Amino acid sequence: MDRVTFSSWAGNVVDNRGLDFGKFSAVDNLELPLGYDGYRVAAFMSWNGLVMADDGVNVVDMARSYLTEVKKLACGRCTIGYSGIRVMSDTLNRISGGQGKPEDTDLLGSLAAAISDSSKCDFCALAVKPVLDSLKYYQDVYTGLVTRKKAAPKSVYIIKITAPCMEACPAHQDIPGYIELIENRRYTEALEVIRQTNCFPGTTGRACVAFCEDNCVRNDIDSPLAIRALKRVPADHEAASGLTPVPGRAGESRQKVAVIGAGPAGLAASYSLALKGYQVTVFDEQPAAGGMLSTGIPQYRLPGDVLTRETNIVERLGIEIRPNIKIGSDIKLEQLSQQGFKAVFIATGAHLSRDAGIDNWNERYEGLVQGIKFLREANRGKKIEPRDRVLIVGGGNTAIDCARTCLRLGFKEVTIVYRRSRTEMPARDEEVEAAEKEGVNIHFLAVPTRIITENSRVTAAECIKMELGEPDASGRRRPVPVKGSEFILETDMVLPAIGELPDVSFTKNRVELTDWGGIKVAPSQQTSQPTVFAGGDCVTGPATIIEAVAAGNRAAASIDQYLKQGSITPDQMASLLHQVALDRQRDGGIVAKSQRQSPEELPPAERVLNFNEVEKCLTAEAATEEAGRCLRCYRVMLLAVNEGE
Ligand SMILES: Cc1cc2nc3c(=O)[nH]c(=O)nc-3n(C[C@H](O)[C@H](O)[C@H](O)COP(=O)(O)OP(=O)(O)OC[C@H]3O[C@@H](n4cnc5c(N)ncnc54)[C@H](O)[C@@H]3O)c2cc1C
Ligand code: SF4
């Protein structure tokens, strides 16, 4: 935005007031959108400062409106925050209403400073910063209203609320909101909050990669909130109570929507669409719903009954799940519109194994199986004869899951061969550590190049040592073979787990694809065909549950808009929210260090004996204590807008 007259964003003051437009200094630390929903953006206020682009906006009324929202979120853990914000809000109401007293501006300033220095969490401490800035740089507007006893003109305000953890979560779950409810053991309400954006609380409470924890403000103080473990607490409580919620539908529409794929993306979209009243049918080629959650993730991390319970809740909304139907062969994509479906959401995941590039590769050899297929068979309870030795190729979570599954099946010597070093391993650290504790060997900087067999049975793999060269496109150092370093690893089985690609051959090029074979979509998840939407791993390549859920939610919102109004309005605030709240820097407030609560785990020697769940649920006491560590870092964001974009 080039017409900013004043900005104090992130402490960087740009004051163009009184200058000719040509002499304006630019604000380069914040990208404000020019318009919102047909309005022109005129000013902005949030936790890190104040930006004015139109002098017609009255800064006092803007601060009043902003603090009204802040007041709703102030929690009451400390008197200075709770009462101080209330007094500030009343004072701003008084001044902007034309009834301010001469001492009011001093009162506001001293309260804001006290709240900033002494609140017990981040929320109030940071929320008052833009009000302080308005007092400092627009004192004349405040005193003008007080002396003239005149009410301030009002603008139209748009309010959004987020937090650093919420912004890091692809589904933007209201994390501080449900954590506070968990602290107070209001588990049913906590689940209601979670299910607004994530219909898999028990599943993600176990297997989510927890991007939110990486961006938790507590990282800079002691250790991040155990958000994933906390989310599991109300979900397990509900399951133990035997109650299965029946979510209420917002209405009924006769419009039918088809979803291809009953993984997390497909089910999240179905859940949202059904809540909006659509008649949803989900087609899946597998006999059971869940996608990779059921065929990939092993039971010791995600027990089958947890997933079944959550897919049942989705079905209870009246969604029809039709298993054993492969789109492309049983039903053609183009037939769906003939069957009356007004829109289609493709969520078919990434299930095609990549070519491992190993010589003498022949899947007819005994002892050569793709890792994904191996996990699917193990998860489905197929009898797998344990061997003495197995080599697993790859460094991601699938490789780790294959290795830990082999141990539980009774394989004696389980070795992962990975071509880079530990630092570059894409698998989560905690998973790698768990595998090593259980007895998995990891052979770094090596790769199998040739399969050696006897009578069509795998007996060994020829490998070559690697060294690390320059970083490649992924930013990780490229593995380079060391000439003449070939060596033999004897084995009875080789399981490649080097990543998967989407199989979207059923689309027959009816939708545009990316150059690597994924489905190309707009940020709304719409494909090149206006009534066809896509999301999850078939768009991104192998990713995570929560990214799939987020894509499903987004697609549902876009399908709803498209079917109602024939077009989709882009989310103009998403990028601003991201800029404003992903930044987790903090100053102010007094926060004591505290110990993160961790769930109990089965001892490694016991784990490998069966597929029992490794991680336990936090106790209610531990959950209350852990939830109490949350700093409620909500960021209120207010845009003042004027007519006409
Ligand atoms: C071994 C393993 C472990 C993982 N662990 C984790 C983890 O701990 N945490 C995490 O966040 N993520 C994990 N992931 C990744 C996560 O499971 C995926 O990112 C997620 O499941 C993708 O969801 P999706 O809905 O896009 O696709 P999927 O879950 O793959 O679901 C796609 C569905 O579409 C169906 N389908 C495909 N083609 C057709 C067709 N033509 N017709 C009808 N149906 C079709 C499939 O049968 C499947 O049910 C793991 C993945 C694997 C492989
Ligand atoms: S302390 Fe709480 S609100 Fe703040 S980032 Fe962490 S989880 Fe989110």
DSSP assignment string, 466-480:
EEEEEE-TTSSEEEE
Whether 328 shows a pLDDT value over 90: the answer reads yes
Q: By alpha-carbon position, which residue is closest to atom 6 of ligand 2?
A: 216
pLDDT given for residue 212 in this prediction: 97
Looking up tokens 């590039």 gives 357
| Contact between 604 and 615 (Cβ < 8 Å) | no
Ligand 1 atom closest to the Cα of residue 398 is: 1
Question: Confidence class of residue 589 from pLDDT cuts 50, 70 and 90?
Answer: low
- Which of 96-110, 461-475, 550-564 is least confident? 461-475
Share of the chain above pLDDT 90, in %: 82
Write the DSSP string, 313-340: HHHTTTPEEE-S--BTTTB-TTHHHHTT
pLDDT given for residue 590 in this prediction: 67
Alpha-carbon gap, residue 116 to 114, rounded angstroms: 5
Ligand 2 atom closest to the Cα of residue 629 is: 1
Query: What separation in Å is there between the alpha carbon of 262 and the centre of ligand 1?
Result: 9
Which one of the ligands is nearest to 218 CA? 2
Instruction: Give the CA dihedral 376, 381, 382, 386, nearest 10 degrees.
Output: 90
Helix or strand holding residue 61 (H, E): helix 59-73
CA angle centred on 559, ends 555 and 562, rounded to 5°? 135
Query: What separation in Å is there between the alpha carbon of 635 and the centre of ligand 2?
Result: 11
CA angle centred on 183, ends 220 and 299, rounded to 5°? 85
Query: What separation in Å is there between the alpha carbon of 165 and the centre of ligand 2?
Result: 6
Alpha-carbon gap, residue 226 to 630, rounded angstroms: 10
The distance between the two most distant Cα atoms of the chain, rounded to a whole number of Å, is 98
pLDDT given for residue 56 in this prediction: 86
Alpha-carbon gap, residue 409 to 374, rounded angstroms: 12
| Residue range 100-112: mean pLDDT, rounded | 95
pLDDT given for residue 588 in this prediction: 54
Alpha-carbon gap, residue 259 to 293, rounded angstroms: 17
Radius of gyration of the chain (CA): 28
| Residue range 166-189: mean pLDDT, rounded | 97
Phi-psi region of 316 (alpha: psi -120 to 50; beta: other; left: phi over 0): alpha
Whether 250 shows a pLDDT value over 70: the answer reads no
Helices (H), 439-544: 537-540
Domain at 353-501, CATH class: alpha beta
Q: Is 589 in the pocket of ligand 2 (CB under 6 A)?
A: no
3-state secondary structure 598-624: CCCECCHHHHCCCCCCCECCCCHHHHH
Phi, psi of 280 (to 5 degrees): -110, 135
Q: Is 426 in the pocket of ligand 1 (CB under 6 A)?
A: no
Which amino acid belongs to residue 583?
Answer: D
Which one, of 179, 214, 172, 188, lies nearest residue 546 by Cα? 172
Query: What separation in Å is there between the alpha carbon of 179 and the centre of ligand 2?
Result: 9
Query: What separation in Å is there between the alpha carbon of 172 and the centre of ligand 2?
Result: 13
Same fold, 256-351+507-571 and 353-501: yes
Query: What separation in Å is there between the alpha carbon of 180 and the centre of ligand 2?
Result: 11
Query: What separation in Å is there between the alpha carbon of 127 and the centre of ligand 2?
Result: 15
Phi, psi of 476 (to 5 degrees): -90, 150
Q: Is 260 in the pocket of ligand 1 (CB under 6 A)?
A: yes
Whether 252 shows a pLDDT value over 80: the answer reads no
pLDDT given for residue 54 in this prediction: 83
CA angle centred on 524, ends 522 and 527, rounded to 5°? 45
Q: Is 164 in the pocket of ligand 2 (CB under 6 A)?
A: yes
| Residue range 149-153: mean pLDDT, rounded | 93
pLDDT digits 0-9 by tens, 376-418: 999 999 999 999 999 999 999 999 999 999 999 999 999 999 9
Alpha-carbon gap, residue 45 to 129, rounded angstroms: 10
Alpha-carbon gap, residue 361 to 60, rounded angstroms: 72
Q: Which residues contact 44 (CB under 8 A, 6 or more apart)?
A: 30, 32, 50, 51, 53, 637, 638, 639, 640
pLDDT given for residue 38 in this prediction: 77
* Residue of 295, 297, 400 best suited for mutating to test ligand 1, as the one with most atoms within 8 Å of CB: 297
CATH numeric code, 256-351+507-571 = 3.50.50.60
Alpha-carbon gap, residue 625 to 595, rounded angstroms: 9
| Contact between 281 and 315 (Cβ < 8 Å) | no
Ligand 2 atom closest to the Cα of residue 164 is: 5
Which one, of 209, 382, 213, 410, lies nearest residue 301 by Cα? 209
Task: Considering only residues 587 and 322, tell me which one the structure prediction assigns the higher pLDDT.
Answer: 322
Whether 645 shows a pLDDT value over 60: the answer reads no
Which one, of 228, 352, 250, 329, lies nearest residue 556 by Cα? 250
pLDDT digits 0-9 by tens, 275-299: 999 999 999 999 999 999 999 999 9
pTM summary value:
0.94
Helix or strand holding residue 33 (H, E): none
Q: Is 286 in the pocket of ligand 1 (CB under 6 A)?
A: yes
| Residue range 243-260: mean pLDDT, rounded | 83
| Residue range 564-581: mean pLDDT, rounded | 85
Question: Confidence class of residue 587 from pLDDT cuts 50, 70 and 90?
Answer: low
| Terminal-to-terminal C-alpha distance of the chain | 13
Helices (H), 74-138: 79-96, 104-118, 122-127, 129-137
Ligand 2 atom closest to the Cα of residue 634 is: 3
Question: Confidence class of residue 1 from pLDDT cuts 50, 70 and 90?
Answer: low
Angle of helix 227-241 relative to helix 175-183, nearest 10 degrees? 60
Distances (CA, A) of 508 to 327, 503, 511, 555: 11, 11, 8, 21
Question: Confidence class of residue 625 from pLDDT cuts 50, 70 and 90?
Answer: very high
CATH numeric code, 6-162+634-643 = 1.20.1440.230
Query: What separation in Å is there between the alpha carbon of 626 and the centre of ligand 2?
Result: 11
Q: By alpha-carbon position, which residue is closest to atom 8 of ligand 1?
A: 207
For the chain, the structural domain boundaries read: 6-162+634-643, 175-245+595-620, 256-351+507-571, 353-501
Say how many C-beta atoms besides its own lie within 10 A of residue 448's C-beta.
24
pLDDT given for residue 277 in this prediction: 93
* Tokens standing for residue 97: 């209403």
* Residue of 216, 221, 584, 635 best suited for mutating to test ligand 2, as the one with most atoms within 8 Å of CB: 216
Q: Which residues contact 435 (CB under 8 A, 6 or more apart)?
A: 400, 403, 404, 416, 442
pLDDT digits 0-9 by tens, 511-527: 999 999 999 999 999 99
* Tokens standing for residue 564: 């109602």
Task: Give the pairing type, strands 49-52 and 156-162.
Answer: unpaired
Q: Is 494 in the pocket of ligand 2 (CB under 6 A)?
A: no
Distances (CA, A) of 66 to 49, 70, 108: 12, 6, 14
Which one of the ligands is nearest to 402 CA? 1
Ligand 1 atom closest to the Cα of residue 348 is: 34
Q: What is the mean pLDDT of the chain?
A: 93
- Which of 363-367, 500-504, 579-583, 615-619 is least confident? 579-583
Looking up tokens 């880079």 gives 420
Looking up tokens 């605030």 gives 573
